[in-house]
Every structure is written in C-alpha cells, then in structure tokens.
C-alpha cells in the first residue's frame, strides 16, 4: 500500500490544488435587528461646501446641528 505524498510533486498540480474552489457552507441567516431610536450610526454623506460651512461656522457640534435640522424636516413632513 503506497501513500500519496502530502503535497503534489508536480507544480501544476500544486497550483491547481491551491485554486480549487472552496466548499460553500450554508451561511447563517442574517438577523434583522431594528435600529434603536437613540443610537447614532456613522455614515458617509456628501454635502455642498456652503452647507457644510454654514453648519460648521458656530464651531463644535455641527454634526448635531445637521441632525437637528434633518429631524425638523422629518417632523414638518408628516
């Protein structure tokens, strides 16, 4: 009984073994968690430079001011 080598002796076989497709396992279903109302999420947002300057001119807290302005628009829209 002869054992096959752990590694292929042929470089082409070795390369083929490296790029062999991995076995796919069933992924666990994603858990849909509702966002908490008081938790802030980090996002990337593109704003016009003049809008950004307007909110930043009063110093720190400009992100909260933008959030408050957006919340006011939400309230008025209902």
Q: What is the pLDDT along the chain (78 residues), one digit of tens a residue?
A: 566 666 667 888 878 877 777 777 777 787 777 777 778 888 899 999 999 999 999 999 999 999 999 999 999 987
Confirm whether 18 is domain-assigned: no
Residue 24 falls inside a structural domain: no
Residue 10 lies in a domain: no
Residues 56 and 63: their CA atoms lie apart, in Å, by: 8
Alpha carbon separation from 67 to 27, 30, 32, 38, 57 (Å, rounded): 36, 29, 25, 12, 16
Cβ atoms of residues 56 and 62 within 8 Å = yes
Look at the pTM and tell me if it is higher than 0.85. Answer: no
**How many folded domains does the chain comprise?**
1
Average per-residue pLDDT for the chain? 84
Is 65:58 a contact under the CB 8 Å cutoff?
yes
């Amino acid at each position: 009984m002869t054992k096959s080598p752990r590694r292929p002796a042929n470089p082409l076989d070795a390369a083929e073994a490296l790029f062999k497709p991995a076995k796919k396992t069933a992924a666990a279903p994603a858990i849909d968690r509702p966002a908490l109302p008081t938790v802030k999420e980090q996002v990337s947002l593109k704003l016009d430079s003049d809008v950004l300057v307007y909110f930043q001119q009063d110093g720190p807290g400009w992100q909260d001011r933008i959030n408050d302005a957006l919340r006011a628009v939400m309230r008025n829209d209902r």
